[in-house]
Amino acid sequence: MSLGPYASFVVTSYALVAAIIMLLIIWIGVDYRHQRQRLRDLEASGVTRRSGRTATEI
């Protein structure tokens, strides 16, 4: 497969799309862990939900 004279533009656009989507995925994943960690810390410090269920339970 040859991309001709415009190869750099095609490759750059695909790479950029991949990079931004990876960033989104990483951001969402890190955020998820962060929120779970904060919930666990809060529970460990003795705060409980009104329903009595554990906050990290899903």
Partner 1 sequence: MTLIDLANPTKFLSLTTRVLPWLAVATAILLLVGFYQAAMAPDDYQQGATVKIMFVHVPNAWLSMFVWGVMSVAALGTLVWRHPLADVAAKAAAPIGAAFTFLALVTGALWGRPMWGTYWEWDARLTSVLILFLMYLGLMALWRAVDDPSRAARAAAILTLVGALNLPIIKFSVDWWNTLHQPASVMRMGGPSLDNAFLIPLLVMAVGFTLLFVTLHLAAMRNEILRRRVRSLQMMQASQQAA
Q: Residues in the site for partner 1, rule: CB under 8 A?
A: 1-7, 9-10, 12-14, 16-17, 20-21, 23-25, 28-29, 31-32, 35-36, 38-39, 42-43, 45, 47, 49, 53, 55, 57-58
For CA atoms 19, 25, 31, 37, give the dihedral sign.
negative
Query: Could you tell me the smallest distance in angstroms from the CB atom of residue 35 to partner 1?
Result: 4
Query: Tokens for 33?
Result: 């862990």
Distance CA 30, CA 45 (A): 23
Query: Could you tell me the smallest distance in angstroms from the CB atom of residue 5 to partner 1?
Result: 8
